[in-house]
Structure 1
């Protein structure tokens, strides 16, 4: 029987942690879509992503699902991808081959945020509606009354926290990551849009391990510069959210990610989808019920109204994720000064 090395856990209570600092961390927030057969006019296909069984990039995966190298059966593609990302890819990323390899110590936190299809999205948010006729009576059959499904553009996020951008370079330049992990990305993902961001913790987490996170992508109004929007978002909107959530037991964590990545082709961390985003909100909850209660509350209505002063609501979107913590060296988390 071959030797099997069990997963090494890089999170509490299995590793020594340190209190979070009051300065903003540098975050790599990689927006992901899975390798699938979605038509090219519906979802972007990244250059070199979605390999066939011989390791060659597919120009149009929609033409032949059986050619996809990761999972050719579309009936189980989404489940297989989610399971593999957490149970295999996450373990491979943290698997140290050489005893003297210390590069992973520069990674302070790594969460996989898996989009949870039954959770609220900006396309279908609570309160939910029962299909009924004009008299309020349920239809005897759902056939003919099933609304089309509106799928978000993305399937999840790799959420990595670092002290500085130099630490990002150290982790991803590591030979193990460069030669064994990044090539795996090309097989299992359709595209990766990395957002380089400066993170501001407005409401710090007490547990550091909330189950549900609402990911909200923000686009500023066209008459607003990115720098002035981010300043308003942090100095005005952040305290507004914090004051409205005060006393509520619903929101367990609130973080703002300010996009500092490239805006033009050729610049570092440029991606056409990432460049359109000015900021990302992360709001965490203990349960899906708490998230749904928050979304229908006057508290959230006030927050959205204030948010709309500087954001294009039609260009923004949100969706629910289930958090899978892979690495966490920070405990407790503290508010960013």
Structure 2
């Protein structure tokens, strides 16, 4: 007899058919940013209490000293691959599985958004140019010219949508989520945020299955209140984005997630004032958009609003749960704060 773990994921996955009609009312999203479990020293990346568990269920307090003790993967050479596979193929189905006495039915959408190092980021944006000297030739000693890796703060995020805040409490308050899903997070992640945001869809997706996203994490500039920053981001900035021909040609979906609270004491995630998610049909389309003259105007507008700690990066989208019909825009010019 097969076990639950061995049975097909499709056998347990909640229905993928739409169960909620399109609505112009903004949904509530918990953008759950994560950093992967690895052997990075604690001084270089924060680590939640109880996270980075050993095979005996205890926190590995100094994973750079004892990487072999990590439950997910003890070989640092395999750590990233094992983590990326685990998040998508093991943790996602666990979240979606309705064990006896639990239900994920209040989750309207759950996408995993995995950052990819080969995609553009604010720390290594396109265009990418050949490494040549004054003579126009490539270096004969490339081993001496390898650029250092500049890693963004986060390795991805879970895009989880609900109809309202009460649905968040009713879902996460269940024993399955409060205990077993959190325990699984402590195996796979060093840090997990869980902010509460209001989702404004500015460019609706036609299919809900756009494969590539550019995720922009916004920290407001000094002197701006969160309310003023969000008002300007959704008002003048969104209007500028929509006005660019490259947006109409290349962007498949554009949403802003405005921070309105948190489900936990969360010093990392609480610093995030908003998140913008631009989705594309391909990685090439994303790069074409980022090198366009239209995007230079968008980037300048964004930089005028945000401050230190902001970052952006590219990710692959994986759909785990989708109970939504085709999207409609929920964006409108907000009232003055």
Give the structure-2-normalised TM-score.
Answer: 0.93
SS in 1 for 2:144: coil
Contact map agreement 1:10 1:326 (CA 8 A) in 2: no
**Counterpart in 1 of 2:270?**
275
Corresponding residue SS for 1:308: helix
Whether contact under 8 Å (1:19, 1:334) holds in the other structure is no
Match for 1:333 among 306, 327, 335? 327
Q: Is the 8 A contact 1:261 1:270 kept in 2?
A: no
Partner deviation per Cα, 1:87-132 (whole Å, 9 max, x = no partner): 111111111223x74x311100000001111000101111002111
Counterpart Cα distance in 1 of 2:207 and 2:244? 21
Measured in 2, the distance between the counterparts of 1:39 and 1:225 equals: 34
Residues of 1 paired with 2:309 and 2:191: CA distance?
A: 20
1:9-67 deviations in Å (ceiling 9; x for gaps): 446xx424433211111110111011111011110011110111211112111111111
Q: Which residue of 2 aligns with 1:230?
A: 230
Counterpart-to-counterpart distance in 1, 2:67 and 2:247: 51
Q: Distance in 2 between matches of 1:243 and 1:6?
A: 46
Mapped to 2, the partners of 1:140 and 1:40 lie a distance apart of 37
Specify the alignment match of 2:105 in structure 1.
105
Asked if structure 2 preserves the Cα contact closer than 8 Å seen for 1:196 and 1:269, the reply is no
Measure, in 2, the Cα distance between the counterparts of 1:223 and 1:323.
Answer: 35
Q: Tell me, yes or no, if the aligned pair for 1:66 and 1:73 is still in contact at 8 Å.
A: yes
Q: How many angstroms does 1:245 deviate by?
A: 4.5
Instruction: Determine helix, strand or coil for the equivalent of 1:105.
Output: coil
Cα shift readout 1:119-177 (whole Å, capped 9, x = no counterpart): 00101111002111112211123110111011111111011000111111111112222
The 1:132/1:280 distance shift into structure 2, 3 A limit, reads: same
How big is the alpha-carbon RMSD for the aligned residues of Structure 1 and Structure 2?
A: 1.6
Distance 1:89 1:213 in 2: 21
- What does 1:38-57 align with in structure 2 at a 5 Å threshold? 38-57=40-59
> Aligned residue for 1:255?
255
The aligned residue for residue 286 of structure 2 is: 291
Whole-angstrom distance in 2 between the partners of 1:270 and 1:259: 14
Q: Unaligned 5+ residue runs, structure 1? A: 263-267
Q: CA deviation at 1:185?
A: 0.9
Preserved contact between residue 31 and residue 157 of structure 1 (Cα < 8 Å): yes
Whether 2:168 is the aligned partner of 1:174: answer no
Q: Are positions 1:116 and 2:110 aligned together?
A: no
Aligned to 1:110, the other structure's residue is in SS state strand
* Alpha-carbon contact 2:72-2:82 (below 8 Å) kept: no
For residue 317 of structure 2, what is the aligned residue in structure 1?
Answer: 323
Find the aligned partners of 1:246 and 1:185 in 2 and give their Cα distance.
38
Is 1:33 matched up with 2:28?
A: no
Q: How does 1:106-185 map to 2 (within 5 A)?
A: 106-185=106-185
Q: Which residue of 2 aligns with 1:265?
A: none
Label 1:176 to 1:315 Cα distance change in 2 as closer, same or farther (>3 A). closer
Deviation at 1:326, TM superposition (A): 0.3
Partner of 1:192: 192
What is the CA–CA distance in structure 1 between the aligned matches of 2:280 and 2:135, rounded to whole Å? 37
Cα displacement (A) at 1:226: 0.7
SS in 2 for 1:261: strand
The equivalent position to 1:5 in structure 2, one of 7, 12, 16, is 7
**Residues paired across the two proteins, number:** 327
Q: Give the unaligned 5+ runs of structure 2.
A: 332-337
